Structure 1
C-alpha cells in the first residue's frame, strides 16, 4: 500500500512556485536585453565598437559556370542547344494510300522522325537522318525550324545496314548548318544532349540531356529478319531520353557539336536510359559515299557465309573435318564465280577463323571487318580445310549496290 505526505507536498509546491518566479523574471530580462542589443547594433557597427561579420563561404562546393547576357543566365547546355537547334529538322514519311472505296489514292503521313542539316553548297542543303525514318516513302517532306510550310526533299541515298540516309532540299531558307565533332575523343561521363521530335512535330526540337554511358557498344542487326545477325553496329550509349521521333536527330556534346545520330533505344518494361547513337565519325564516311555514289562503297569477297554455331556439332567433324579446338567461325556455303574468294582458292566448306590475324566468330563480325575496308585493299584469310589450317591472301572486290 502506498502513502501520501501532505505537509511534504505543500513544501514542494512552495519551492516550485518560487523557482518559477525567478526563471520568469530572468527570461523577461534576457528578452528585453536582446531587443535593446538588436536595436543598437547598427549604431555600434558604424561606430566601430562591434566589427562587421564576414559572410561564411561554403566548403567543397563546385560551381557551375554560367554567363550573363542581356539579363539572362545562360548555361553551357543552353549555349550548345542555341548553336545547333535551328539545324534540326522534322522528317515526314509520306506514302500513297487508296481511299476507302478504292477509287483513288492520296498521300498520307505514315511516320516522322528527325534529321540534321550538315552541309550547304551550290544552293542545296543536305540532311542526314535514319534509313528507317524514310523507308518505303513515296515522298519525303522536311520541316525547318524557321519555316512552317514543309519542303519536299529528294532522297540522295540510303543504307539499311548502318540505318543512315541523306536528303537534299532547296537551301534558300537554310541559314545554319551543324558542326560535326570527333566521336573518337568521347569519354564516359561527359555531357550528352539530344534534340529531336519525339512523338511527332507537336513536340518539335525537344531537348533532353544526360551523359555518355558508353563510347563503344555493339548492337546486332538482323536485316532480313531471319533470326541471324547480319551485321554488328558500333554505337554510343547515352541515358539522354530518346523517344520515337528522335530517330535521325543529333546527339551533341557540351560544345554543341554533333557527335552521333540518334538511332534506337531499348524499349522494355522496367528499362530506362538506354539510348543509342551512331558515332559521327562513322556517319561521315557513310554520308560522303551516299552523296558521291548514292550508295555505300563496300568491298566483298564473294562467298555465302554461314555461322559455324548454326550447324550441327555432328557435322563439325564428319563434314567439315574440324579439330575439337575450333568452336566458332564462318563456313563457306558457296563461292561465286570470278570472285576474289575464287581467285584466292577458297572452296565450299572451308571454315574462316581469322581476317588479318583478327579472330572471326560469325558472319556479322566478318562483314563488320570487311566493311571497314575499301575495294582494292589486300587482306589475309585464315581458314580450316579438312582439319588443316591454311592462309590465303585476297584482294577485295567492289560490292554492287543493292
Structure 2
C-alpha cells in the first residue's frame, strides 16, 4: 500500500510539472507574438507619418478645406484697377490764363471720365478742385494734356462737371451702386496725390461706414451751411486725390473721393461722395449747369443728437420718439414760414413716411419730389402731434 501511494504521489508530481511547463510555454509564446505585433504596428504608423510629412500638401482656395488663396484676392484688385485706372485723370487749375502766367498752377486734383459721346468726353471732379479757376486742363493717363470747359459745379455736394475733346480718351469709367455696399467691403482709391508726380496712385482699404454726413461751410465763416452725404473709407486719400475714383472690387466707381480728416491724432478717415448722391447731381450739371433742389427754408438738427432730458422735458416728446428732424430756425418768406412751421418743431413724418434723420428728409425731397410739389409734414409741437402742408420752392 505504501509503495502504491508513493507511486501515485510521484505520478501526480510529474503531471503537475508537465502542466506548469505547458502553461509557461503558452504564456511565453503569446507574449512573444504580442510583442512582435506591437513592434510591427509601431513601425507601420511611423512609416505612414513619415510618408505623409514628406508629401507636399496641396492648398486650394476652396470652402471645403477653409483655406484662402491670397493670389486670388490680389488678382481681383489688379483687375479692378486695370478696369478703372485709365478713366482717372488729372485736373489742373490755373489762376490766370495770360501768356506770361499760364504756367502758374493754382492747384491740381483728380477727375473721372464717365461719358464719351459725339466726339466729346465728360469728367466729374470736386467743386473745390476747380473753384475760382480762370482756366482748366485735364491730363489723361497717357500724359496728354487737354483743355477743359467747366459745365457747372455744385458746392453743396462738392461736385463739378467738365467737358473735353474725346480724341485721345481711351477708357470710360463704369458706375456701380453705392446703396448696395456693405461695411467691410474692399474699397480702392485711384488718383493723383500731391499732384501729377504721383499720378495714378492706388491705395486699398475697406468701406468703413455708410450714410455719414460731413458739414459744409459755404461762406468759410465757421458756420455749417449744409451737410453732405459721404462714404467713409480707410483707403488713403491725400491732397490731389480729390475728384478721383473710389472703386469696388469689380472696378466700378462707387464714390468720388472728396476729403479726409487731417489731424495729428486721426488716421484712416477718408470720405467719398457716393454714386447715389453724385449721379443726379452730375446729370443736372451736365445738362443745366446747376442743380435745382426743392427748398423748405429751415435750419435743422437730428433728434438723435439731442439728450433724452431735452427730448422729454424741453420738447415734451413722447418717450417712443427718439429720431426725427428738429427745426432749429425758420427763414422768413420761405415755404416753411408760410406753412406755419416754428423753431423747435420736431418733424417725424413726410407724406406718411417716417423721417429718422436729415439724410432721410433730404433723400425723400431730392429723389421723390420736385420744385412746386406739395408735401404733408407731421410734427410735434409742445408734445402735441400736428400736421401742415408745405409747397416746395426752388
Q: Give your verdict on TM over 0.5.
A: yes
1:56 aligns with 2:62: no
Deviations, residues 246-304 of structure 1 (Å, cap 9, x unaligned): 00000111111111100011111132111111111211111011111111120113x36
RMSD: 3.5
Match of 1:114 among 110, 117, 131: 110
State the Cα distance separating 1:228 from its structure 2 match.
3.5
Q: What is residue 257 of structure 1 aligned with on the other side? A: 252
Most deviating of 168-177 and 209-218: 209-218
Summarize deviations over 1:317-357 as a string: whole Å, max 9, x none: xxxxx864499822554432xx5446x54267684534516
Deviation at 1:172, TM superposition (A): 1.0
2:38 corresponds to which residue? none
After TM superposition, the score normalised by the length of structure 1 is 0.70
- Superposed, 1:26-65 pairs within 5 Å as 54-57=55-58, 60-65=66-71
1:82 corresponding residue in structure 2: 82
1:269 to 264, 268, 271: 264
SS state at 1:216 partner: strand
Which of 296, 316, 332 lines up with 1:335 in the alignment? 332
Cα 1:380/1:214, change in 2 over 3 Å: same
Tell me the secondary structure at the aligned position of residue 122 of structure 2: strand
Tell me the alpha carbon deviations over residues 194-232 of structure 1, each in whole angstroms, 9 at most, x when there is no partner: 110000101100111111112332222222234433222
Q: Which residue is equivalent to 2:149?
A: 154
In 2: Cα distance, 1:360 partner to 1:86 partner:
40
Give how far 1:157 is off: 0.8
Contact 1:95–1:107 (8 Å) recurs in 2: no
**Equivalent-residue separation in structure 1 for 2:272 and 2:203 (angstroms):** 14
Pairing of 1:10-21 with structure 2 (within 5 A): none
Equivalent pair of 1:304/1:335 in contact (CA under 8 Å): no
Distance change in 2, residues 1:308/1:238 (3 Å): closer
Compute the TM-score of the two structures, normalised by the length of structure 2.
0.71
What is the aligned partner in structure 1 of residue 23 from structure 2?
none
Give 5+ residue unaligned stretches, structure 2.
Answer: 1-49, 60-64, 304-309
Output the CA distance in 2 between the equivalents of 1:351 and 1:385.
5
| Cα distance, 1:305–1:152 mapped onto 2, change above 3 Å | same
Contact 1:335–1:348 under 8 Å retained in 2 = no
Matches of 1:334 and 1:197, distance apart in 2: 42
Count how many residue pairs are aligned between Structure 1 and Structure 2: 322
Deviations 1:170-207 (A, max 9, x none): 11111210111111111122211111000010110011
Is the Cα contact below 8 Å between 1:232 and 1:368 reproduced in 2? no
Query: Would the alpha carbon gap of residues 121 and 228 (structure 1) be closer, same or farther in structure 2, given more than 3 Å must change?
Result: same
Query: Structure 1 residue 240: deviation in Å?
Result: 0.9
1:396 equivalent in alignment to 2:392: yes
Cα distance in 1, alignment partners of residues 299 and 230 from structure 2: 24
Offset of residue 121 of structure 1: 0.7
**8 Å CA contact retained: 2:257, 2:272:** yes
Partner of 1:299: 294
Q: Are residues 1:182 and 2:177 paired?
A: yes
Partner Cα separation in structure 2 for residue 107 and residue 138 of structure 1: 12
- Could you say which structure has the higher helix fraction? 2
CA spacing shift, 1:380–1:360, aligned 2, 3 Å:
farther
